[in-house]
Amino acid sequence: MPALKDLRRRLRTVKSTQKITRAMETVSAVKLRRAQERVAAARPYADCLAAVVRSLADDESTQEHPLCQTRPVKRRGLILVSADRGLCGAFNSNLFRQADNFIAEHGAENIDVVPVGKRANDHCRRRGLTTVDRLAALGGEARSADASRIAESAIDRFAAGDVDEVWILTTRMLSLIRFEPQFERLLPLNLGQGEEQEAPTERLNYLFEPDATSVLGAVLPRTAESRLYLAIAESVASEHSARRMAMHNATENCKELSQQLTLDINKARQASITTELGEIVGGAEALKG
């Protein structure tokens, strides 16, 4: 059995670690609540834009917009949204596994990657992937200015014909304990054809001035930006949720280890006392003899 001094040193270390993980769990819980509020605040705007776009889709003159044109895919763009830091379980590794499968399927030479987040930038650098833009760090929150810049860059490359499709790979939070990497096609934009439409009684009739095509030209870039912002916001919320859960599990493991070490210390102390008593009794018997 390890020495009593070593066991006590290990117990102090485990208890110190437990305090750190408990504090990180609390911080992540607070940040998670704020991130969820950002996601909830962004959804109504995205839903209203989608409703306007669906109404514009009824006008045949809008079907020829450059951002909606489907063409043979020779080169793809991938916006990879990751976390800035670790200590969040398998959050980043699951995301990068999906990204590597996507790149292997379509060929690394045919994909331009836009890494968003420190871990995504590190992954692209290690893999030697071609990057055309990047966001070095998110800073633990989603910012509309960052989403607008990345979306504008993707729109420019798509309109110029440098890429034929642009995909977003981000982590969606399905619940507080469940989050999965998911792909979403950003460009070309889908105007709503083939999607489940609202009931005719619920559809609003919009009047577009000066015309539907002009309005579409202004709305579609905003639609791409709102989708990318929402994807980043959900990724940030998923990161905080994953870190909160990972730190909770780490705290519980520290608690169990502390209990086991306490038992080991008691056993070692009892063994030491028993040994000393045996030596005393043995010495007393020797003196009698």
68 is catalytic: no
CA 89 to chain centre: 11
Q: Are 80 and 150 spatial neighbours (Cβ–Cβ below 8 Å)?
A: no
Q: Which of 68, 88, 124, 254 is catalytic?
A: 88
Give the Cα separation of 77 and 84 in Å (integer): 21
| DSSP summary character for residue 160 | T
Burial profile 233-253: b = 16 or more Cβ within 10 angstroms, e = fewer: bbbbbbbbbbbbbbbbebbee
Structure tokens at 121: 């930038």
Amino acid type, 77: G
CA atoms within 13 A on the CB side of 283: 6
**Helices (DSSP H) in the chain: which residue ranges?**
4-56, 91-106, 118-127, 144-159, 212-288
In angstroms, the Cα distances linking 72 to 33, 53, 65, 69 are 43, 24, 16, 10
Active-site residue numbers?
Answer: 88
